[in-house]
A and B are shown apart, each in its own frame.
Chain A
Amino acid sequence: MTIDDVARPATVQEAVASLKRRPDAILWAGGTLLMSDPSCIPADRLVSIVDIGRLPELAGIHRTERYVEVGAAVTLASLLALPKPALLGPLAMAAAAVGTASVRNLATLGGTIACRNRFMSCFAALSCMDAAVELRDPRGVRWHGIHKLVGPGNRPAFPEASMLTRVRLPHLSWDAVVVRALGDPPYPHPDASTFAACARIEQGVLADLRVAVSGRILVRDRSLEMTLAGRRLPLSRREIGSFSSDMAASALALSIPPDISSRLEAYVSAFLDHPEEYAL
């Protein structure tokens, strides 16, 4: 690969202007993925880099009553260093499982979302949280639900020439949360996948349930989740079996390998069987 230019904008506006000049430029925040997987950088053309890792506008964390808003260049270590990381529920758990502490000092939240060829492990957590993302391009600023980044065939569809600037995480208190690697091959194995699930329980009733898998594709079935919402705990064997096998069937239909799908079935089943064991 040949790098012909490294732009170092001082503001987000300057970064967007750089992107307007070079829509194919690589936005570089933490760069842990780009440095560890050379295939992420095109080898057949000149590459321009826009260094956005030190933009103050992308480094803030703001909390309101309804949500936490995190700049795209906030490192995973900074997220975990928040006074109450448990408020971030599944995201805190997913972030803590990324690499080592020294890698998390470099890796950014934006980097876990903006990967072009796969959904990284935090994406499953963000999907469960129904996070929203702020995207900027030369045409303006737009907020989208995170599922806007999921394209046909449930594959990644991060828009070209766009810059992720902020991530909005709704404040929801979860009673049970789990994030696990699915299967043995860790990233960068192409089949590496992450399972995330969270549940809210009110007076012995499953008030809200969310289950997602991220990897080469994203698996999330909101209508299936709704079938268990409002059910009294503990769930029956039949309810658990039906839900987990339907979830595994969805994953299989979306080309997740059979061994990973069957492991997903077991994980979902274990979570639904004893959600109290996954209390935060």
Chain B
Amino acid sequence: MNVTFILNGEDVACTAGALDRLSELLRDTFGMASVNTDCGSGRCGTCLVLMDGRPVNSCLVPAFRARDCEIITYEGFSRTDDYGRVQAAFDRHGVDLCPFCRPARYLAIGSAMDARSDSRGADLPSVLSSVLCTCSSPAAVLAAAMDALAGRQGPRYSRDH
């Protein structure tokens, strides 16, 4: 089947099996190396992408479900101002995430910065725990994430842009 969607702000199209995993599609067809395809069951969270603004496990999203959606991967997020804020917050707190979990964790925090998200503030720990990795102290990651969030108020895309 033909699948068309918006990937990191660009219209893209591809041919895929209806139940092909979005994670594999992103990695193999579109070269999104940040999307891991490890567990395939929604446990590790390293395939996290933003789908219409919400963090989801792309290994649980079939290709047909991606049709007409807006998908943002770490590659796209790293071109936004919010990425710089998240990175600066982690630098301030001296937290160095491993390459395995950094993309997913940055995206999770990025989703909490989005005005459409339900995960601002109180639910941030829950969103961050979607990514399973023990490279850094959860308390330190949360502190950096809260710092990043505090540095940003209001919607990501204002009418002025």
Is there contact, CB below 8 Å, between B42 and A51?
no
Contact A36 B108, CB 8 Å, known A1-B19, A31-B60, A51-B64: no
A149 is an interface residue with CB less than 8 A from chain B: no
Interface string of B10-28 (1 = CB under 8 A from A): 0000000111010000000
Chain B interface (Cβ within 8 Å of chain A)?
1, 17-19, 21, 40-43, 45, 48, 51, 54-57, 59-62, 64-65, 67, 108, 118-119, 123, 126-127, 129-130
Specify which chain B residues have a CB less than 8 angstroms from the CB of A8 in the assembled complex.
Answer: 64, 67
Does B18 lie within 8 Å of A103, measured CB to CB? no
From B61, B118, B127, contact of A106 by CB (8 A):
B61
A25–chain B nearest beta-carbon distance, Å: 13
Taking a contact as CB atoms under 8 Å apart, the answer to whether A101 and B64 are in contact is no
Q: A35-B59, A51-B65, A81-B118 are in contact. List 6 more A-B contacts (CB 8 A).
A: A6-B18, A101-B55, A103-B57, A105-B54, A106-B56, A106-B61
The 4 closest A-B pairs by CB, nearest first: A100-B130, A81-B118, A102-B130, A36-B41
Give Cα distance in the complex from A101 to B54, angstroms.
10
Contact of A100 among B18, B42, B59, B62 (CB under 8 A): B42
**CB distance A102 to B55 under 8 Å?**
yes
> Taking the nearest CB of chain A, how far is it from the CB of B84, in angstroms?
23
How far is the CB of B100 from the nearest CB of chain A, in Å? 16
Report Cα–Cα, A132/B17, bound state, in Å.
37
